[in-house]
């Protein structure tokens, strides 16, 4: 951990009691700040408030009082999920009070080798693959953190100048990380996501580009080269561009040619030997390979990781095989693009479980993918009628309604035959029926285990 004096004697407000917010509050005390912690809800776990108070932190819960904006705070550390049109946050913006996220705080105290990953899809898998590859070859600590369920600043506290940290960073986090400068930045792809938060696609892109905004030619931007618009985005960076591509050969980075993965002209392995299925995971592997090679990792370590790693939980996760049916949990597919990608990964007949929160859009874009391999679809949630309409347009032979992703499991089994894939890939957020996609995925797996009498692999 780097010793810094920036927060010594400063008055800091931490908004939000998530994992990152709580760690930020305690860390700021260590850095000499006068800290107030605020959450709109009152925590059910009383020990949270007790721990904060014991550390000398003033605690305000149950609302975001607008009066806090008049208390003379020098800086606000905001939970990434709190929008900037939140009345209290908006008031701080109007006043010109600096607002950062915990990712910025983590960067400020980190003293090692930073690799950061962002993108619309594939962030978590790419982050995990990159960390595993570098760790396979490393003499020092290599950890991951960020939007992967582990506090950036917490891990940064534990690492020294010889260590490596691979961080997954969302657009929400990056928007509040104005000085972050990873030595290696990865952009997996950029679609039009989170426009309810960012308001415009350009705002969303600009938030993502904070990952490279402070980089110099001594740093590297690893970026997907498969679309012209992503190539254009790359040229906004001052970093050395390292492309990765499944579709276009480029000797400057990693690519696929005749089914073989290459790094700058050197053959590494066959793409079909990657344990993770689907073209999206070839792209994730290419991104991770580029970052790993730039970090000095040898081919044997890369091959070992890619031939053994079975996937991140809830992200096209292989659950089990039972009576020649394959079960996959892709609960993280909370948008249309992710489900498109999931369906492209299979050549077997698919029984698809899909539906969830109605965000106002329809699913015509899925029609071509439904036509290829989907033999049956089970729909649920607020948007089930819209999902059903798309399935009817595609001519899916069997369309069934169910209450949710759990009740859909035995329905899918009844419709299945040997050789089929039973796939949960909802294309929608879970919040109409579950508190998170993780809970939805866990309950799906539990339903599969109950059906088969087996535990997940």
CATH number reported for the structural domain that contains residue 35 in this entry: 3.40.50.720
Encode pLDDT of 314-334 as tens digits.
988 989 999 999 999 999 999
Q: Where residue 89 falls among pLDDT bands split at 50, 70, 90?
A: very high
**CA separation, residue 38 to residues 11, 14, 98, 199 (Å):** 14, 6, 17, 26
Domain presence at residue 66: yes
**Residue 339 sits in the same domain as residue 448:** yes
Q: What is the DSSP code (8-state) at residue 55?
A: T
Q: Where residue 46 falls among pLDDT bands split at 50, 70, 90?
A: very high
Question: Does residue 193 have a pLDDT over 80?
Answer: no
Domain presence at residue 178: yes
173 neighbors 182 (Cβ within 8 angstroms): no
**Residue 264 sits in the same domain as residue 205:** yes
Residue 178 pairs in a beta bridge with none
How much is the pLDDT for 334?
A: 92
Per the structure block, which two tokens stand in for 392? 């009817």
In this prediction, residues 9-17 reach a mean pLDDT of 97
> What is the span of the domain harbouring residue 25?
11-100
CA quadruple 191, 192, 197, 201: dihedral, nearest 10: 110
The CATH number covering residue 115 comes to 3.40.1190.10
Domain presence at residue 457: no
Task: Report the candidate in 68, 270, 287, 259 with the shortest Cα–Cα distance to residue 189.
Answer: 287
Question: d(Cα 437, Cα 59) in Å, to the nearest integer?
Answer: 30
Domain boundary among 290, 308, 326: 308
In this prediction, residues 131-140 reach a mean pLDDT of 95
In the chain, the N- to C-terminal Cα span, in Å, equals 38
**Residue 138 sits in the same domain as residue 284:** yes
Q: Where residue 313 falls among pLDDT bands split at 50, 70, 90?
A: confident
**pLDDT, the chain, mean:** 95
Domain boundary among 263, 291, 308: 308
Q: Which of 37-46, 192-201, 216-225 has the lowest mean pLDDT?
A: 192-201
**Residue 296 sits in the same domain as residue 164:** yes
How much is the pLDDT for 192?
A: 78
Give the total number of structural domains in the chain: 3
Question: d(Cα 231, Cα 228) in Å, to the nearest integer?
Answer: 5
Domain presence at residue 2: no
Residue 142 pairs in a beta bridge with 164
**Residue 122 sits in the same domain as residue 216:** yes
**Residue 347 sits in the same domain as residue 386:** yes
Between CA 229 and CA 232, with CA 230 as vertex, the angle to 5 degrees is: 65
Domain presence at residue 255: yes
Q: Which of 139-143, 166-170, 309-313 has the lowest mean pLDDT?
A: 309-313
**Residue 246 sits in the same domain as residue 392:** no
Q: Where residue 311 falls among pLDDT bands split at 50, 70, 90?
A: confident
Domain presence at residue 1: no
Domain boundary among 43, 71, 100: 100
Q: Where residue 359 falls among pLDDT bands split at 50, 70, 90?
A: confident
Encode pLDDT of 206-241 as tens digits.
999 999 999 999 999 999 999 999 999 999 999 999
């Amino acid at each position: 951990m780097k010793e810094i004096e920036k927060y010594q004697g400063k008055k800091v407000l931490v908004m939000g009691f998530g994992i990152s917010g709580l760690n930020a509050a305690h860390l700021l005390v260590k850095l000499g700040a006068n800290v107030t912690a605020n959450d709109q809800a009152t925590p059910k776990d009383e020990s949270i408030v007790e721990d904060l108070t014991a550390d000398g932190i003033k605690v305000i819960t149950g609302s975001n009082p607008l009066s806090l904006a008049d208390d003379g705070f020098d800086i606000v550390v905001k939970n990434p999920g709190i929008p900037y049109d939140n009345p209290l946050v908006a008031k701080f913006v109007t006043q010109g009070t600096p607002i950062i996220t915990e990712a910025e705080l983590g960067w400020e105290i980190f003293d090692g080798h930073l690799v950061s990953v962002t993108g619309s899809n594939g962030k978590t898998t790419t982050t995990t693959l990159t960390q595993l590859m570098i760790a396979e070859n490393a003499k020092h600590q290599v950890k991951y953190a960020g939007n992967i369920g582990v506090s950036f600043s917490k891990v940064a506290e534990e690492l020294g100048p010889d260590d490596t940290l691979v961080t997954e960073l969302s657009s929400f986090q990056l928007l509040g990380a104005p000085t972050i400068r990873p030595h290696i930045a990865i952009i997996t792809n950029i679609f039009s996501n989170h426009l309810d938060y960012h308001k415009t696609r350009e705002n969303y892109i600009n938030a993502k580009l904070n990952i490279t905004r402070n980089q110099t030619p001594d740093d590297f931007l690893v970026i997907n080269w498969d679309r012209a618009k992503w190539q254009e985005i790359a040229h906004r960076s001052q970093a050395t561009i390292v492309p990765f591509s499944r579709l276009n050969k480029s000797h400057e980075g990693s690519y696929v040619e005749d089914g073989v993965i290459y790094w700058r002209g050197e053959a590494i392995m066959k793409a079909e030997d990657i344990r993770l299925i689907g073209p999206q995971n070839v792209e994730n592997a290419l991104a991770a390979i580029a970052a790993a090679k730039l970090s000095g990792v040898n081919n044997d370590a890369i091959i070992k990781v890619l031939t053994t790693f079975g996937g991140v939980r809830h992200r096209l996760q292989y659950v089990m095989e039972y009576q020649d049916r394959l079960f996959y949990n892709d609960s993280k597919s909370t948008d249309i693009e992710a489900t498109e990608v999931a369906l492209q990964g299979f050549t077997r007949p698919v029984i698809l479980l899909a539906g969830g929160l109605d965000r106002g859009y329809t699913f015509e874009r899925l029609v071509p993918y439904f036509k290829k391999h989907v033999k049956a679809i089970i729909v649920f949630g607020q948007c089930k009628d819209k999902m059903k309409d798309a399935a009817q347009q595609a001519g899916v032979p069997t369309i069934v309604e169910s209450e949710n992703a759990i009740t859909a499991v035995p329905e899918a089994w009844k419709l299945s035959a040997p050789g089929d894939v039973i796939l949960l890939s909802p294309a929608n957020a879970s919040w109409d029926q579950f508190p998170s996609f993780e809970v939805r995925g866990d309950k799906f797996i539990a339903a599969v285990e109950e059906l088969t009498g087996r535990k997940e692999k």
